[in-house]
Structure formats: C-alpha cells, structure tokens
Chain A
C-alpha cells in the first residue's frame, strides 16, 4: 500500500508495475484527506468522484497493456485559481464563486493527467493571490502542518499544507512575488518557480500578468522534476508561454554539480532577516562548498519596483469588482487594491524600465556564476493572525514583507528551487536555489545534492 509519505515517483512505480491499483491508491489518499484535512484546511474542494473514475480508467488501460505515463496514478491537487472543469475558479475569493463553472481544465492539469496523474481537488489560498500568509477570511486559514497555530505562508498556502500533511505528493501553486516559495519554506517542502514564461498559465485566474508564474510543490527534487518535465511545452493560449523546446530535467539530476559555480547572495540578502534564515543559507552553502558572495545590484529597489507593479496591475485587474462588490473582498486585500488604483502610470512604467535595467545587470552576474543561494523568507512561519513582526530591529507589517527575499528574484523571472532546511527542532526555513533564465536544471541539480546530503528535507508532519 501507500501512505502519506509516499513520493510521486514511488506511487507511479508501484502502479505502473501493478503492485497496487490506481483505484486503491486513490481510495487511500481520499480517506487520508477526509481524516486529516479538517486539521490543516488545505482543500477547498475534493474531486473524489472524478478521481475514482480517472483511477478506474487508468487501471483499465494497464489491464490492456498500455503504458500509463511517468506520473501513473499520482494524486495531485491545485491551488484554487487553476481551472478545474465543473467548478467555479474561486481564486480564494467570495466574488468568484458566482462565476460559471470552468468549461475545461487548465493546461497544466491536462498535461499532468496526460502523464497519468490524478486530480483529487482544489486547494486553499489567499484571496486573489495578494497574500504571503495563507490566511483567508472566506475559507479560513490554511494551517501549518508542523505547528497548526502557525501560518502556512501564501498565497499557495493550501498547496504547502497539503504536501507537508501528506495529503498529496504533488501540488500546483502560483508565484507572482513568492507565493510558491514562501509556503515551501514555512511548511518545509520543495517548490519550483520556473523561468517566467516556461509553463503555461492558460486556464488560471491571473493576478499580475507581468509577474505571474505557475509551478509544482512536492516532497522530493525528483518529483519536482517529474512534474515539471510533464508540464513543459508551448501553449498559444498563454501569450507569454515560451516557444523554446522543452528541456527535460529528470535525467540531469544525476549529473552532480562539479561543473556548477555556486555563490551566496550577499548585501540585501544578508540583511533584513532573522539570524535563523541566514543560518539556513550558511548550512546549505557549507554542504555545497560555496563561499563566494554575490551581490545582486539594487535588489531592494528591484523589490520596490515589483511592489509598485503588483499593486497597480492588481488594482487594474480588479477595478470593476472594487466598484461593484468592494464589501465582498477580504478587507486586507481590498484596501491594498484600492490604494493600487491611485498609482500614476509614470511609477509603473519607470518600474518596468528598472526591471529591464536590473535584468541586464543580474544576467551579467551569470557570466561568473551558475547558481546563487539566498534565504527564502526573513523568518520562520509567524503565528496565524500576527500582523506585525520585527526584522533587523524594525517593526513592520507581516503581510507585505514576508516576500522581501523572493520578490527581487521573480521580478526578473529567474528560475528558483525553494529548498526546505531545518536548523534545529523548530519550524523549517527555506533556501532559494536561484539559476539563470531557462536553467531550471541547474537549480534542481543543486537542490538534489542538498537533498542527498540531508540538508534539504521535506518532512511529513505527524497529525
């Protein structure tokens, strides 16, 4: 049988070889979701009947001798801004529940199912993805499986909770400013934010088109690579989806890192956080033999520019809803969006020009280095409901500032593997393994070495 700690590759192997049926695997996971989800509030919809039908179809295909795909029978779930046919795509909101049900699955759901995976449901998230906490006023907060009174991080909070609670081995999230990487750090799981444009966003509810990415969360680097490889490919339905040929990564993992130059982000990325977050980076750097400090020029200004673009594009997207149904928003999101509606165009255009400048400077760094390590979050998961924290001696609001280290990276679309690192018996921290554009394999190879050396660990919580 399988249990909550089984990885996607183990489940696919057992189902492909006939050791267990897809139906048995799905029934086991559905029972686990029914029993444990009430504690962590990861799922907002469980698509049990659909999952059983897909599993039965998969078992029938195996009985006919057909190949089932690399993700055969792997249960997965998606952040509820990703379309699932037959459900309204709520994107964490009350307002979107009035939308008609999605007519078809999002492209990434279709690609994962084409590889044999089985969708089991939709996952909780911060409203309209404008969130780093995992709190949601309509559905209740997702809860950190390693400490139920602490945040999961967001906005893909249900995705992090579902992975860390062993409810699924694979989940999809979205990341505009850190929304895959933050929950990966707080919940102690692995996440991949690919290069901007690498994976299709078609069939997902947007937030900031300039910055939106989709990507997987899992409990092993191999599973991230499996899922990522299955989801690559062009898609005319997403205007920013790349036309580059897919670049599979799974077989790259065994290449080691002997040819990779690894640095440590200094300057901005070595300030503004608790000592614990820098200790996690130092632990990873020691294991990799990395000593060279790399300074990303004007990272703080880059983060500021991402902040402005996010507020302006988010406000523009939601203006009609703010006009007609302002009282139905989460107040924490509504007030930020209304503020964003007052941003002059000159601020946004300058921010987009700064983005061009910063991209050029950072790409120059990749002439000297292949991978850069940095902290994911400035602290461990705060308690649910905390609104302020102290960073580097300064009291600041929690919600916008959890992403201070993730925003300057996604701002220019660099691929990042978020690796969970435990420095003691407390809650986990995260290390960003940052690579050059289109070099996801570099980040995955480094994360794989961290995993093999025991530094990066995705643990299933005892619940």
Chain B
C-alpha cells in the first residue's frame, strides 16, 4: 500500500470552496442569479465533505479507475 499524502481538511475550508465555485462559474461561462448562490454553496459543501472521505482513503497507485474503455 502506498498511502497518498493528501489533506482533506484543506478542501473543506469554506472560503476555498467559494473560490472554487467562483472559478467554475467563470470558466464554464455560467450566469447565475444572486438568489441561487446559497443553494449552490450548500450543495458544493456536501459534495466536498463526500470528496474528503474519498480523498483521505489510501489507495495503491496501480489501482485503475473503474471505467474501462474497450477500443
């Protein structure tokens, strides 16, 4: 087992999450109404909490991602 050195806590910092959303909205060219933002932020926090559980779990480097492409 080769543990991956990751800091899930950093990913859950609220101001960092908001910055991620800001960047995504700009880079994807989305236009959002101000009233939508609290809902978006809450959903992204939930996703980030789930992602932290995934990111903190050590996995072997050799483990392939699940989807397989057959040429």
Contacts and interface: CB of A to CB of B under 8 A. Distances in A.
Interface residues of B, number: 34
Interface residues of A, number: 41
Contacts of B23: 342
Interface in A43-61: none
B59 A350 contact: yes
Interface string A264-306: 0000000000000000000000000000000000101101110
A37 B22 CA distance: 44
A308 B54 contact: yes
B15 interface: no
Interface in B38-61: 39-44, 46-47, 49-51, 53-55, 57, 59
Nearest to A301: B53
A323 interface: yes
A383 interface: no
B36 A338 contact: yes
A351 B54 contact: yes
Given A307-B47, A326-B31, A342-B20, A357 B54 contact: no
A18 interface: no
A14 interface: no
B57 A354 contact: yes
Given A307-B50, A339-B21, A343-B51, A326 B65 contact: no
A298 B20 CA distance: 28
A334 interface: yes
A342 B53 contact: no
A347 B51 contact: yes
Contact of B57 (A298, A308, A334): A298
A378 interface: no
B10 interface: no
A354 B30 contact: no
Interface string B14-41: 0000001101110011111100100111
Contacts of B55: 346-347, 350
Contacts of B3: none
A319 B21 CA distance: 14
Contacts of B9: none
Contacts of B44: 339, 342
B28 A322 contact: yes
A335 B43 contact: yes
B27 to A, nearest CB: 9
Contacts of A341: 24-25, 28, 30
A111 interface: no
Contacts of A86: none
A301 B57 contact: yes
Contacts of B70: 239
Contacts of B42: 335
A326 B30 contact: yes
B46 A334 contact: no
A304 B43 contact: no
A400 B39 CA distance: 13
Contact of B28 (A300, A319, A335, A352): A319
Contacts of A305: 50, 53-54
A320 B25 CA distance: 12
Given A308-B50, A331-B39, A342 B24 contact: yes
A130 to B, nearest CB: 11
A355 B66 CA distance: 6
A222 B50 CA distance: 39
A327 B30 CA distance: 11
10 contacts: A210-B66, A210-B67, A239-B70, A307-B46, A332-B39, A338-B21, A339-B21, A342-B25, A351-B51, A353-B64
Interface of A: 210, 239, 298, 300-301, 303-305, 307-308, 311, 319, 322-323, 326-327, 331-332, 334-336, 338-344, 346-347, 349-357, 359, 400
Interface of B: 20-21, 23-25, 28-33, 36, 39-44, 46-47, 49-51, 53-55, 57, 59, 63-67, 70
Given A308-B51, A338-B43, A343-B51, 8 more contacts: A304-B49, A322-B30, A326-B31, A338-B30, A339-B21, A342-B25, A347-B55, A354-B59
